[in-house]
Amino acid sequence: METIFPPFDPDDEEGERPRPRRQIPFRMILPNLVTLLALCAGLTAIRMAIEARYGEAIAMIVVAAVLDGIDGRVARMLRSTSRFGAELDSLTDFVNFGVAPAILLYAWALDEVRSLGWIAALVFAICAALRLARFNVAIDNPNKPDWQANFFVGVPAPAGALIVLLPVYLEYLDLPHGRFTAPVVLVYTIAVGLLMVSRLPTWSGKKFGGVSREVVLPLFVFVVVLAAMLFSYPWHVLTVGAIAYLVVLPLGWRAWRRHMREDTAQMRQNNLGT
């Protein structure tokens, strides 16, 4: 007699012949549990937005972003990456960083411009979905330079979700919510969505794998201070972080262009040498 819950292995590919039953190490499912916790945070953010509890909704999106940054690193550290985990992470990111911010912005201000506001929310959510789909199907070129691993193509979905909420942060810093707030937020929301699906190179930080011993203690102090600032002055920290990210976008593009020029010059030099 078949059981209600058949055996499951996150490493199994769909359509493969069943394998003999065996225990799955906890390290294989731990990253997926972290991803599910992030999904719970994103869904809770949607509920808070519907209830007009915007501060708590933003807090849940921030928690989801932190967990999103953890689950992949945990999977790589424990050598427990799987196709199931990658698909689950992508679906979770769409909910957390596409749907939740769009609904929050619509409930907060975009509903004031009726259908146009909903269209802006749809554009942002769709751009997040397209950004994630493009990331999933991107094929790494084995011949590409190592430095390209330091860049994303377009603004990542978690960063897009956090910077698109900048107008809400500003209102919590006593910026008045006037009659022109909704139209400005509409344009800003669409602009951030387009940045996610653009070809703009942005720094990824994927090569940040370790630190020297000399900076370990200062790093601990910095993280503690940052966490304390985030808890004590959340809207100031989020505002500064969002503005800083927008400011450094052109710097990432310039760094990409500099690397490309250096590669072109090196290729020309090699051709002349041959």
Question: Which of 121, 130, 129 has the alpha carbon at shortest distance from 103?
Answer: 121
The two three-digit tokens of residue 214, written as one number? 């000399």
Question: If you ran DSSP here, which 8-state letter would residue 203 be given?
Answer: E
The two three-digit tokens of residue 172, written as one number? 């919590």
Comparing 48-52, 88-92, 111-115, 258-262, the range with the smallest average pLDDT is 258-262
Q: How much is the CA Rg of the chain, to the nearest whole Å?
A: 21
| Percent helix / strand / coil, the chain, rounded to 5 | 75, 0, 25
Please enumerate in sequence order all residues whose Cβ is within 8 A of that of 152, keeping only pairs 6 or more positions apart, or say none: 201, 202, 203, 204
Q: Give the per-residue pLDDT at 16.
A: 55
The two three-digit tokens of residue 234, written as one number? 């959340």
User: Could you give the CA distance from residue 216 to residue 257 in angstroms, rounded to a whole number?
Assistant: 32
**Of 144 and 52, which is predicted with more confidence?**
52
> Contact, 159 vs 245, CB < 8 A?
yes
206-222 pLDDT per residue, tens: 655 566 777 778 888 98
Sign of CA dihedral 20, 26, 28, 31: positive
The full set of domains in the chain, from first to last, is 26-137+144-273 (1.20.120.1760)
Residue 202 pairs with which residues in a beta bridge? 152
Residue 56 pLDDT level (bands cut at 50, 70, 90): very high
| Beta-sheet strands, E only, within the chain | 151-153, 201-203
Question: Which of 34, 18, 38, 17 has the alpha carbon at shortest distance from 26?
Answer: 34
Segments in the chain forming alpha helices (H):
26-50, 54-77, 83-94, 100-108, 114-137, 157-164, 166-172, 181-197, 216-232, 234-273
Please enumerate in sequence order all residues whose Cβ is within 8 A of that of 234, keeping only pairs 6 or more positions apart, or say none: 59
Instruction: Supply the mean pLDDT for the chain.
Output: 85
Over residues 172-200, the mean pLDDT reads: 92
Angle at 177 between CA 172 and CA 179, to 5 degrees: 165
Q: What is the pTM of this model?
A: 0.85
The two three-digit tokens of residue 54, written as one number? 């915007």
> Contact, 95 vs 51, CB < 8 A?
no
